[in-house]
Amino acid sequence: MTRAALAALLLVAGIAHADGSADADRAGAAFRDGVTRADIDALERLGSARPLTLWSDDAWAEAAKLAERGNDFARARRDLEQVIAIGTDPLLVRRAENDLARITAAAGPSGEWSSVIAETERLLPALRGDTDPRAALARLEAIARDNPGYPGATALMMSIGAGWEREGETDRALGWLREAQRNARTSPDRVHASAEIVRLLTAASRVSAAEAELQALTPYATPELVASLRAKLERAELRRDIRWVMWGLLAIIAVLAVVTLRRVSGSWRAAGRRLVRPPAEALFLVPIAIVLILVASTGNPLVAAAVRAIAIAGIAASWMSGAILSGARVTLRRAIVHAVIALVAVGAATYVAVDRGHLVDLLIETWRLGPSPR
């Protein structure tokens, strides 16, 4: 009798186990299907189904991820609360608690910042694309001004500053970085904004202002950050000294060219007549320079300004050299001297143009790492 009862009990337990295993298999298949199709509704239905299975909390967690990805933060919060309520995996529950706290901090307790987050995430990719980002930047500026209490305002302001810096609008970029510095609610955010101000001033060759900002930042920043900013500042000071040398060379070459033109022409009036007539060298370079300038103008404004300055310098050097040599007997020695002086002038102008647009670091990075992939 006892053996018969035990056998019956084992038979019932086996049937229940088989039924539970079948339910778990069906739930697992439904979970995988919902994840594959990114079907948030199906995942929420699976999480709500009773009795609970091993997949119920996972279904709510995946639904929360999809809701957050779609910027539906209120729905993501509800789904995460379900994970916390029914979760049996301590690690999954802890991760859900962290995600819930993060979403609440970003979107607000009732999701009041959800629309701001969605709009900024829609606009921010335009700042890193190939299209003109000015319209997106203007819209982001309006969002930052209209939502001063937005928890992500500091990061948004820094993104706006970076966008205007890429457009060559240094003062406008600096204004937004200072606004981010004032708006920062935590010490790390304030230090980050201050460090970006130092970096921008350094890149713009405003060495004295960068030095003052770095001195103010030093007591609050880590030694590693201060050392990194100090190294960049020292390189900027070196480039500033080189820039003054280049300007000096250009001034000397310009004075030498004018004096030489006056001497070979015999009078200032004759020198003027020579300059009015474009030499063949300049006529050859002008259309090429125009094409280069037009092509460059469709890209980065900083690069376009540098290309424009270099092209104008090359035309000016060839024009002046052609005017001086016009009608004169050109010896090999004289031609070499003119070529060397012209190369020095164009080289000095190139350095000044590239340094003024603070493109030196970009060129060095491109040389080391190669062009960025499209």
Note whether 50 and 41 are within 8 A (CB).
Answer: no
* Residue 372 pLDDT: 52
* Residue 166 pLDDT: 85
* Residue 273 pLDDT: 83
Q: Please name the residue ranges forming H helices in the chain.
A: 2-37, 40-48, 56-69, 73-86, 90-107, 114-123, 134-146, 153-166, 170-183, 187-203, 207-217, 223-265, 268-276, 280-296, 301-325, 332-356, 360-369
What single string gives the DSSP state of each residue in 206-249?
A: -HHHHHHHHHHHTTTS-HHHHHHHHHHHHHHHHHHHHHHHHHHH
Q: How far apart are CA 160 and CA 218, in angstroms?
A: 25
* Residue 371 pLDDT: 58
Note whether 249 and 286 are within 8 A (CB).
Answer: no
Instruction: Please provide the CATH number assigned to the domain covering 116-221.
Output: 1.25.40.10
Per-residue pLDDT tens for 332-359? 887 788 788 888 888 888 888 887 756 6
Per-residue pLDDT tens for 19-47? 456 777 888 898 999 999 999 999 999 99
Q: Is the pTM of this model over 0.75?
A: no
* Residue 221 pLDDT: 92
3-state secondary structure of 204: coil
Q: How far apart are CA 168 and CA 358, in angstroms?
A: 9
Per-residue pLDDT 10s for the chain (374 aa) are: 444 544 443 333 343 333 456 777 888 898 999 999 999 999 999 999 988 888 999 999 999 999 888 888 888 989 999 999 998 889 999 999 999 898 888 888 777 888 898 899 889 888 887 778 999 999 999 999 999 889 899 999 999 999 998 888 999 999 999 999 999 989 999 999 999 999 999 988 888 999 999 999 999 999 999 999 999 999 888 888 888 999 999 999 889 888 888 888 888 888 888 887 878 777 788 888 888 888 888 777 777 888 888 888 888 888 888 888 776 676 788 778 878 888 888 888 888 888 775 666 666 666 666 655 44
Q: Which two tokens stand for residue 13?
A: 């337990």
Q: Which two tokens stand for residue 41?
A: 């509704």
* Residue 182 pLDDT: 93
* Residue 16 pLDDT: 37
* Residue 132 pLDDT: 83
